[in-house]
Structure 1
Amino acid sequence: MARKKPLVVVTRKLPDTIETRMRELFDARLNVEDTPLSQAQLAEAVAVADVLVPAITDRIDAEVLASAGPNFKLIANFGNGVDHIDVAAAMARGITVTNTRGVLTEDTADMTMALILAVPRRLTEGAAILTQDDGFWPGWSPTWMLGHRIWGKRLGIIGMGRIGQAVARRARAFGLQIHYHNRHPLPPQVEEELEATYWDSLDQMLARMDILSVNCPHTPATYHLLSARRLKLVRRDAYIVNTARGEVIDESALARMIETGELAGAGLDVFEREPAVSPKLLKLARAGKVVLLPHMGSATVEARIETGEKVIVNIQAFMDGHRPPDRVLAAML
């Protein structure tokens, strides 16, 4: 007799190839309309499911997990970050949590590098000029639309994990000098390969960099890591790029300092209260002071398919009685 397929509830629309494979392997309930589930709907899902496949838009908190049914044993997250999941509450109930480590590294590093280029060189300002007034522009001039070169500048990377290191490799090719702050220094051979300078003091690094790139995860320890106090340490002519999580930066303080000229500008792909974007940041974007993107760092076809494939592998391993390859442990948080 064939084993009963596990009931897998998927909270958002996934690539067709992934959804098709899930239907083949599992009793998969899909969200073909891609409408975000409410907290009540998430609670209903964990009450009946064996597995939940949430995304970053779903808040899986202790209240949702309190509704977990007797068969609910796995949260197979679609994505790397798990700050939207109360992992401690899940573990306390014997629920395993997995993520999809490593899939988004190169795509997010590409987007980080794009913002590092876009902000000092005023790319979005220039592009906007050609889409206004029927494409009229005054023509080339020696003093028009001047930005700043990045070659020879110092890049400070906050968080030197997979993505931070991938950013460093790209940035070196653009002539940037690599500096970084991390909980621990990199192994000497990696540091030598990247020609990277380690700062154990974040405050000291912030005061010396031309460009700062936020590439650390959002955890209780990194909430507002770039606080109003720390932002005041940053040089007035420096730029800040964030492709990690919006909560790592005090967004209100950042906007205020750019508005008053205490910071040169910023490139942001993430926001503190997504999907809401601060009106102050929108105003600064219209003025050409910041570049804003709608959380596109990992938005490639390849990344979404690879992420889905990892989710499937984690579910299969768990259901076969094996340890999932991407299990999230308390020590990782």
Structure 2
Amino acid sequence: MKILCVLYDDPKGGMPEKYALDSIPKLDKYPDGMTLPTPNATDFNPGDLLGCVSGELGLRKFLEDAGHTLVVTSDKDAEDCEADKELVDADVVISQPFFPYYLTRERIESAPNLKMAITAGIGSDHVDLQAAMDHKVDVVEVTYCNSRSVAEHIVMMILSLVRDYHNQHRIVNEGGWNIADAVQRSYDVEGMHIGTVASGRIGLDVLRKMKPFDVHLHYFDKHRLPESVEKELNLTFHQSVESMVSICDVVTINCPLHPETENLFDKEMISKMKKGAYLVNTARGKICNREAVAEALESGQLSGYAGDVWFPQPAPNDHVWRTMPNHGMTPHTSGTSLSAQARYAAGVREILECFFDGISIRDPYLIVKDGDLAGMGAHSYSKGTATGGSEEAAKYKK
């Protein structure tokens, strides 16, 4: 079989000759008891850079030894890009949320052999799920592989925004030392009201990680948490996003992108937020209206916005979020730490082993199966597509 793997570019200076750490902690289970990926073997060192083109997710030896063909590229957006050329006769396509190959209906229909789309990470909104269902293309992802990585990133961003770390760091880099300039937008999070839109694995982990800061915790989700968890964390449940954002000083978005959440945080929703609130989005860029966010930062309706998700990705060089005030944006990196890469690379290997051997893939990994939403997809997604406008990614210039 032919496997097409679309990964982000190598480091500009070439692959690392050595790493900051000699090893990473070994984990066996996630907090809910689910085991980490369990492939029969791996051909990489945990902690190595695996998510870029030369890293190849550690798959080449495994695939070629089994008689399969692996094609790896980062050329994914322009007309006549390498990924499109290779897709037409591919059996499996692997992509990442951090550098998504937007699997639109047109692309799916150009690939008559395509049987499976694998997300090396979590979040499969870059796939037209309706088209995948229509053409019986299974969609799977490595559920939970980087959820805690993202939660750590969110906590970092909350603290960085509220304490105004980015401004203080800039002052030092510019040779300055004016304390008043450094602290005029700096606050403590203690006593603030912190809310998450969605309380799945990432959202709930953020709440747990923020509890020691002595804050008031809120959440909205279409699936209410068990009463025992609400009591443990002293959570306030809200029936609507509007109810929650009206009283929260910090809102973090942790829901999947699908037609129902696309553009959820538009000008109207942001106007209902507490004036001067902070908004953190590591879910998907399309959940927030880019112009509405920039305008809210200019007006002071928002005191800060941080995240690592954009739409499309890579973000065009003229994307307004690159230059808006009081932002803490990064490239889409929250879920692709070297620790997370080891887990999602192992998860992709596990999925491929099951696929080749005709063994059932773990139910939590499933998004689309046999023409319908399944597993995590049935729990978290809705039918349809959120890939519209993805062609704008071709505007990015390296």
Secondary structure of 2:188 counterpart: coil
Which residue number corresponds to residue 335 of structure 2? 298
Deviations 1:20-78 (A, max 9, x none): 444444524232x6333656544443332222112332011111111223x43121222
Which residue identity does 1:217 align to in structure 2?
P
CA distance in 2, matches of 1:141, 1:328: 51
- Aligned residue runs from structure 1 range 85-96, under 5 A: 85-96=127-138
Identity across aligned pairs (percent)?
24
Deviations 1:109-129 (A, max 9, x none): 000000100011110111111
Which residue number corresponds to residue 349 of structure 2? 312
Seen in structure 2, the aligned counterparts of structure 1 residues 284 and 51 have a Cα distance that, compared at 3 Å, is: closer
Which residue identity does 1:319 align to in structure 2?
F
Which residue number corresponds to residue 108 of structure 2? 65
CA contact (8 A) 1:19 1:30 kept: no
Deviations 1:130-169 (A, max 9, x none): 111xx2324x569944511101111010011100011011
Which residue number corresponds to residue 94 of structure 2? 53
Corresponding residue to 1:257 among 296, 300, 304? 296
Number of equivalent positions: 320
CA distance in 2, matches of 1:143, 1:127: 9
- Aligned residue runs from structure 1 range 238-249, under 5 A: 238-249=277-288
> Normalising by structure 2, what TM-score?
0.75
Which residue number corresponds to residue 185 of structure 1? 224
Q: CA deviation at 1:223?
A: 0.5
Secondary structure of 1:276 counterpart: coil
CA contact (8 A) 2:89 2:114 kept: yes
Any stretches of 5+ residues in structure 2 without a counterpart?
8-52, 382-398
CA distance in 2, matches of 1:221, 1:161: 17
Seen in structure 2, the aligned counterparts of structure 1 residues 89 and 179 have a Cα distance that, compared at 3 Å, is: same
Which residue identity does 2:92 align to in structure 1?
V
Which residue number corresponds to residue 131 of structure 1? 173
Deviations 1:273-307 (A, max 9, x none): 3322665433334xxx2211111211211211211
Q: CA deviation at 1:205?
A: 1.1
- Aligned residue runs from structure 1 range 108-257, under 5 A: 108-132=150-174, 135-138=175-178, 140=179, 144-257=183-296
Seen in structure 2, the aligned counterparts of structure 1 residues 136 and 308 have a Cα distance that, compared at 3 Å, is: same
Any stretches of 5+ residues in structure 1 without a counterpart?
1-5
Which residue identity does 1:243 align to in structure 2?
T
CA contact (8 A) 2:308 2:329 kept: yes
Which residue number corresponds to residue 282 of structure 1? 322
Which residue number corresponds to residue 358 of structure 2? 321
Seen in structure 2, the aligned counterparts of structure 1 residues 39 and 51 have a Cα distance that, compared at 3 Å, is: farther
Q: CA deviation at 1:218?
A: 0.7
Which residue identity does 2:173 align to in structure 1?
T
Seen in structure 2, the aligned counterparts of structure 1 residues 128 and 205 have a Cα distance that, compared at 3 Å, is: same
Secondary structure of 2:242 counterpart: helix
Worse-matched range after superposition: 111-120 or 55-64: 55-64
CA contact (8 A) 2:92 2:114 kept: yes
CA distance in 1, matches of 2:183, 2:215: 25
Seen in structure 2, the aligned counterparts of structure 1 residues 45 and 208 have a Cα distance that, compared at 3 Å, is: same
Worse-matched range after superposition: 140-149 or 80-89: 140-149
Seen in structure 2, the aligned counterparts of structure 1 residues 278 and 116 have a Cα distance that, compared at 3 Å, is: farther
Q: What is the aligned-residue RMSD (CA, Å)?
A: 2.2
CA distance in 1, matches of 2:54, 2:238: 40
Seen in structure 2, the aligned counterparts of structure 1 residues 292 and 72 have a Cα distance that, compared at 3 Å, is: closer
> Normalising by structure 1, what TM-score?
0.89
Which residue identity does 1:309 align to in structure 2?
A
